[in-house]
Amino acid sequence: MNLLNKPFGENSCEDEKRLLLGEYEKYYFRNKRFETKILDRSTYLVVGRRGTGKSSLIEYFSFNELHRHYRCIDVNEPQLYQVVLEKVARLLEENALHTSRRARLIWKYVIWALIFREYEHADERISLAGMMDFGGGNKFSASRIILTLIQSLISKYTGLNIEEVFRSIEEKLSSDVFLEAQLSVLECSRTDETIIALDSIEDYPVGNSAMMEAISALVEYASEFNSEFSNKGLHLKVFLSSEIFPHLLSSVIPNPLKVVRDPLVMHWRPKELLRFVCWRWYLHLQQTGKLEADFKIDFERPADVLKKLWEPYFGHELVNGSGSKEPSFAFLLRHTQLRPRQLVIICNQLFRIMGENGYKSDNPSRDVARAIAEVQAQLAIEVINSYKKIHHNVDRILNALTGLPMHFRGRELDRVAKITGSQWENEQYSPYNFRAICAELGIIGRVRNFDHRTGIIAADFEYFLEDNLVITDRDDCVFHPLFFNKYNVQHNVPNAIIYPFPDHPDYKI
């Protein structure tokens, strides 16, 4: 990647890998909290919204220092993986009876195919199993191998009824050849461990029940696999989008308390995000020779990072749109939903603005405000688009929010919800569902505290809660600052500053 043009990185891990090639490890930001948790043997489920770094965390498996002896099988090509899920769903659609058990059989078939392929040269018993439809050339990616396997299943059993298809799969998985190969793999994995990481896809069609059953079954199988094999050197890690996770828990996974155990939820803290953007800025300054030879910084001390890498270049304070002063990084952060991708986009835009004046600014805090204003709509649209297959016509439904005040009573949502009725499908409209969508996307939050002396309105937003944020008609509500421009929000509280951060010491600014 050319750090001269985009010092804070690309908009996705896939783009960064393509541009950096073998140097991605040097650019990767170390979040020890996530890394420690993902390498824990008990962790098999990772949940995060779009842009929180799930794909980057998968890349960490290939170069982490603690477990360099790990093999890593990455299923991280979203487009191919989406086709895989669609084809698994196709196999399930023919007969809804025992869908969950049958879907788990498919995933068992697929996961062990990948494992046998990884260890096929270690023992003849494994290579024999690889000849039983578990094969695939080494030139193919794990995603392509899975797709080939599923396509083979579909074509091989065309014309057979669903019972015969799954009976054949069960016979393969209980055959002596399979069991001997499995035993051989477990002998190897005692000292030669393997991680199988399945990345999430971008868009999940919640309305496709067979697709949701397929994803649910994958989570169920990962839970079973982890219990049986994580202490034997085999680790299955499934990455899921937070956008669909509540739906899976409430409506699809049959026994969530049993199946979903202590997931890693990718909630970034302000100090971690400060270190993230400043780490990349530090690399840029190094590359361009703008740091003194004796420059030293302690990245474990956020105060040192803020003082030496943020404030000298991007200002200490700024005057916001309400005429109040606030720290420039806090101003930037509250216009995001605390996701690294959003910060990358804002900071790269800030860098371009600084470039108009030879990368020197007489008022860097003014430039921070301008950068946010120029990309705010883009960031808001990405959040909304991530729900387009979960809530049909979501953008048009949410247009009813246009022109509302920044601070209002929950009953105001019921008033404007009435004009959205024609945009809902399958008669799903209700004031409650409209409020739920506004909360689910993190557009509307519930006021936790209003300090009239400082003007700070602290609010809770659903994307940081363990459960759904229920908004009633009596609640005090506020817009998330990220959506002010998108919905032409009216500033009805003079000098107010909305802080959309959880009530927890780790999220203090």
Return the top range by mean pLDDT from 151-155, 250-254, 350-354.
Answer: 350-354
Helix ranges (DSSP H) in 400-481: 411-417, 431-440
371 and 419 both lie in a single domain:
no
Over residues 109-128, the mean pLDDT reads 87
Asked whether residue 175 is domain-assigned, the answer is yes
253 and 282 both lie in a single domain:
no
Asked whether residue 179 is domain-assigned, the answer is yes
140 has a pLDDT exceeding 70: no
Q: How far apart are CA 75 and CA 198, in angstroms?
A: 5
Q: DSSP assignment of 266-310, as one string?
A: ----HHHHHHHHHHHHHHHHHHTT-S-TT----TT-HHHHIIIII
Lowest mean pLDDT among 105-109, 152-156, 192-196, 388-392: 152-156
In degrees to the nearest 10, what's the CA dihedral of 201, 202, 207, 212? 20
Q: Which residue has the tokens 């698994």?
A: 88
Q: How far apart are CA 220 and CA 356, in angstroms?
A: 53
Q: How far apart are CA 491 and CA 187, in angstroms?
A: 66
Q: How far apart are CA 422 and CA 300, in angstroms?
A: 53
Asked whether residue 421 is domain-assigned, the answer is yes
% of the chain beyond a pLDDT of 90: 45
326 and 437 both lie in a single domain:
no
443 and 322 both lie in a single domain:
no
Count other Cβ atoms within 10 Å, centred on residue 375.
Answer: 17
254 and 372 both lie in a single domain:
no
Q: How far apart are CA 445 and CA 447, in angstroms?
A: 7
**Beta bridge pairs of residue 75:** 198
**Beta bridge pairs of residue 264:** 46
Q: How far apart are CA 278 and CA 299, in angstroms?
A: 9
Asked whether residue 25 is domain-assigned, the answer is no
User: How much is the pLDDT for 462?
Assistant: 93
139 has a pLDDT exceeding 90: no
How are beta strands 45-48 and 264-265 bridged, if at all? parallel
* Domain interval for residue 412: 387-507
135 has a pLDDT exceeding 50: no
Asked whether residue 7 is domain-assigned, the answer is no
Count of domains for the chain: 3
Maximum separation of any 2 CA atoms in the chain, in Å: 75
Q: First CA to last CA across the chain, in angstroms? A: 31
SS (H, E, C) 127-183: HHHHCCCCCCCCCCCHHHHHHHHHHHHHHHCCCCCHHHHHHHHHHHHCCHHHHHHHH
Q: How far apart are CA 121 and CA 41, in angstroms?
A: 26
430 and 402 both lie in a single domain:
yes
- Residue 443 pLDDT class (50, 70, 90 cuts): very high
- Residue 261 pLDDT class (50, 70, 90 cuts): very high
Of the two residues 261 and 88, the one the predictor is more confident about is 261
Asked whether residue 17 is domain-assigned, the answer is no
- Residue 233 pLDDT class (50, 70, 90 cuts): very high
- Residue 275 pLDDT class (50, 70, 90 cuts): very high
User: How much is the pLDDT for 153?
Assistant: 63
Element (H, E) at 374: helix 364-385
139 and 81 both lie in a single domain:
yes
Give the domain-ending residue among 330, 364, 384. Answer: 384
Q: Model pTM?
A: 0.89
pLDDT digits (tens, 9 = 90+) for 311-346: 999 988 888 877 788 899 999 999 999 999 999 999
Q: How far apart are CA 337 and CA 482, in angstroms?
A: 8
136 has a pLDDT exceeding 50: no
Over residues 267-277, the mean pLDDT reads 95
Tokens, residue 323:
């005429």
Lowest mean pLDDT among 73-82, 218-227, 431-440: 73-82
Question: What residue type is assigned to position 89 of the chain?
Answer: A
509 has a pLDDT exceeding 80: no
Q: Which residues contact 482 (CB under 8 A, 6 or more apart)?
A: 335, 336, 337, 342, 376, 379, 380, 383, 442
- Is the CA virtual torsion 214, 216, 222, 223 positive or negative? negative
174 and 103 both lie in a single domain:
yes
Q: Which residue has the tokens 């003014």?
A: 366
Tokens, residue 335:
């216009």
Give the domain-ending residue among 369, 384, 399. Answer: 384
Average model confidence (pLDDT) across the chain: 85
SS (H, E, C) 329-367: HHHHHCCCCCCHHHHHHHHHHHHHHHHCCCCCCCCHHHH
142 and 257 both lie in a single domain:
yes
In a 3-state reduction of DSSP, which class is residue 122?
Answer: coil
Q: How far apart are CA 216 and CA 90, in angstroms?
A: 15
Asked whether residue 66 is domain-assigned, the answer is yes
pLDDT digits (tens, 9 = 90+) for 66-111: 555 677 777 766 666 667 777 777 666 655 545 677 788 888 988 8
Q: How far apart are CA 64 and CA 32, in angstroms?
A: 11
Burial class (CB in 10 A: 0-12, 13-18, 19+), 185: buried
75 and 102 both lie in a single domain:
yes
Q: Shortest CA distance to 166 belongs to which of 250, 88, 69, 83?
A: 88
Asked whether residue 23 is domain-assigned, the answer is no
Q: How far apart are CA 363 and CA 318, in angstroms?
A: 9
433 and 307 both lie in a single domain:
no
Give the domain-ending residue among 384, 399, 430. Answer: 384
355 and 253 both lie in a single domain:
no
Q: What is the DSSP letter of 405?
A: B
